[in-house]
Structure 1
């Protein structure tokens, strides 16, 4: 299809036509677009085509941030203190925020990528932020549902790569630190996460595997946590897809994660037990963003000049 995503990567009829023309038997949805779209996964199943990703049930459950919190709490994974479900009215939201204690963060239940997300430091600015988050959530995701969590001014964003098959096996492939972000978008990712106590690291790994087992996860995915200065960590969300930064994990484990994802979709068992996963060395990924150098707003287009830093 043409360049706009809605006319190409999000154009389900065009994708199905391409499948039929090429006689393809599987679809890999990539990083974004339809990668976490439960309806598309169901369409593929009904069409007799393998969706290279988790089940539509897992996508739907973990894609709803409120239901995801409830699911992992059932298997004793700690979550960020927050509202028990969606908050509809701004006055109710203000009451909940006061109970949690400011600062808080208002998040879209179906959110991602920083959309429908507002940090609030005081009661005076809460209602405006709450209504704005609802509006952004409705515009971006089609539903205005939001929930409220405690916001930690000082915290690290640690995520764990997990891998599960359709035979009940789940393992982790270590962790990544994705704390350096701008506008809730990751800029630098590294594996393993530096300066993380071994005790905490082992608990993170176990929590990530427990979360995946708890939802019968059967693909590759990422369980994200907040690690706060008091030594505790809290579940943030699960990305039910391959992530851009999966390559740093490939570097330290030597495991081709995309290849394993395809094998899992084909019904094969994991080739690795947990004890067989090597964790060697250190890898860092730095993202390059096309932005206006003065406003830092997105500025896509043809690259005219590129000068890489030396050293």
Structure 2
């Protein structure tokens, strides 16, 4: 039997432009223990004043550093800022030149690759940068590039698509308060119990990855479809369980009332009514037993996703 890879923490590396996306870092801060994010270098990083000014201008023209700075303040200890110095840019250039032509299409992915070494030994690092953030984008990219369903993609693409499909509002570009959404996500991500639960999601995703940690378009689409189905099943089961718990209390009261009515003259009709309610309760209890088979602990990964959707107010409790 194949042994699945285990690690103490999972860190995600980002690119110089990830903060510009709608709902930036919301899914990532929930899916990874920590984010490594490249930032403009400063004098404190041993860079000359001339280079600092040059980089500041370059970032301002392309990547909105003020938005990034504000998001880093919200992320706090959930992210480490890595100065994107000339030395690291040179390393990025070498990485790009070493890549095959197919990988050359996404230079931002190479940015994340350069940052991977900044994760500690206790953590496995993956490049959280993905050119795809939804099943629709995945299909569109496949049509444009004539991508075959079995073409290999980085395993992190699966988590990126899953996160954006299930942990962001349906129309994140319509949400003009990305910062509030990020604050809510960071608050959830700080919970130690949540971080333990997240291991179930890491285990679950392994079913859609190769032994080398890669995936493909068909596997990503299948994973998202399955997770949506599991979450929907869990929502239904949860609703049935709530009704069942209420019903059991009511039927328990009715049973007591029925027994009592038989001891008190003149309340026979009430006793008959209570008996009928109890009979109905037996049927409902049987339904409740079925609902109990799919509870919030039976599928830990789906339970985690549903819990996150509720906490982010994407899903009604």
Q: TM-score, normalised by structure 1?
A: 0.24
Which structure has more helix as a fraction of its residues? Answer: 2
Q: Which has the higher contact order (CA 8 A, sep 6+)?
A: 2
Which structure has more strand as a fraction of its residues? Answer: 1
